[in-house]
A = this chain, B = another copy of it.
Amino acid sequence: MRKILLLIILSTGFSAIAQESDSLFIRRIADDILANGKAYENLRILCKTVGARLAGSPGMLKAEDWGVKTLKEMGADKVWLQAVQVPHWTRGGSDEASISYTDGQGKKVTCKLDVLALGKSLGSGPKGVRGSLMLVHDFDELEKRKDEVKGKIVVYDNAFNPRYVNTGEAYGESGVYRRTGPSRAAKYGAIGVMIRSLSESVDNNPHTGSTAYDSTQQKIPCAAMGLKDSDLITRLFKEGIKVTGYLKTSGAFLPDATGHNVIGELTGSEFPDQYITVGGHLDSWDVNEGANDDGTGCVQAIEVLKAMKSLGYKPKHTIRVVLFANEENGLRGARKYAEEGQAKNEKHVFGLESDNGGFTPRGFEFVMAADKVQKIRELWLPLLKPYGVYDFLEGSAGADVMPLNRTMQTPVAELRPDSQRYFDLHHARNDVFENVHKRELELGAVNMAALIYLVDKYGL
């Protein structure tokens, strides 16, 4: 018993000393970022001078230039571009939709809908599609009523489940209608699909995002509509009113283009050939400034490098800030980065991404052995709590670092900010700089820098 007690005292004694010096250094990181941070101004420049930057678009190239320039300015030892072929989907014009019906007073009503074609969807042709609307709540209902689908425009009004505290779970559940809804309706002869946007916002902004056609089915036009419009349609059907619809979209694929992962490094002092990756994705959808998706992740990752540089911290491992190409509609940048790492037999220690919006930080989620997560939960989480990170979870990680895990079993993670506001603007027109909060963005960067510092110092 006495021996055990002694061991406890010794071990907590040692760890207390380490914890104190780490705690002080993390306080310095926080002071630097909160008082002298560049993340917010860097984001303003990206959003306001580059703006939308979908893979293959002219904005993509402008964003890459911004990334190179910014990484150099923030003090990277080395900045380079990793070329990758990316898809080049284009919206092709403004999307149009309307519904027509006869109201209770016998009056004919035509009502415009605010829609955005789904990413990767093909256009309807210049005349659009016209037909009766068929409203289904979910795939069960679609299957039951499959004989009614032919020649119709199918509307999925599957709504976010508000009971989830983490809105990501609602997105996970309803997201399937965006991804597979069009092809599942096409299978039974639908001529078009409109979905209720994947959001729980109080406005009527439509939210785009990739769909995934089943190659064996007709590639019918499809779009997301705002929640107020979706509510209207749901109400009309509840009242037994017959509704016809019109949908015109112009999506098309142009030939693949050459894009780049933009990479900035701080060279490791002890293990220059061992890499810690921290990143976000540089591409955005075409309808917004990609502020929270994922400008914030990019500038937070850059801020990690900037803080280390400002504080004169010499990392043991090479810290790589990676601004990934083409997350939204291809993930080709992320795959390229992992494939090339594997081909060169690089040793990747850790990969971290921020791609859940620049909101007030709550935690990190890891993909690595449970005992390792438990170990750092005990040792490191107390160091981050003063900065708002209370959870080290297990489960998923940023889409752009997952390929590192799949190809080389690299432990990977993602920042988990508060989730309440993200799907208000995710893939919608209002994902603009003004909807990012300076201090929330900075606090995310503080916690990311602290985690990267701890991984660099102690390994995983």
Contact = CB atoms under 8 A, between A and B. Distances in A.
> Interface size for chain A: under 10, 10 to 19, 20 to 34, or 35 or more residues?
20 to 34
A270 interface: no
A162 B162 CA distance: 34
Given A360-B360, A418-B360, A34 B163 contact: yes
Interface string A410-433: 000000001011001000000000
A242 interface: no
Interface string A153-175: 00000000011010100000000
B165 A387 contact: yes
A30 interface: yes
B200 A439 contact: yes
The 6 closest A-B pairs by CB, nearest first: A390-B390, A34-B162, A420-B439, A360-B418, A420-B440, A35-B162
A233 interface: no
Contacts of A440: 420-421
Interface of A: 30-31, 34-35, 40, 162-163, 165, 167, 200, 202, 360, 362, 386-388, 390, 418, 420-421, 424, 437-440, 443
Nearest to A202: B438
Max chain B Cβ within 10 angstroms of own Cβ: one of A362, A387, A420:
A420
18 contacts: A30-B165, A31-B163, A34-B162, A34-B163, A34-B165, A35-B162, A40-B202, A165-B387, A165-B388, A165-B443, A200-B439, A202-B438, A360-B420, A388-B418, A418-B418, A420-B437, A420-B439, A420-B443
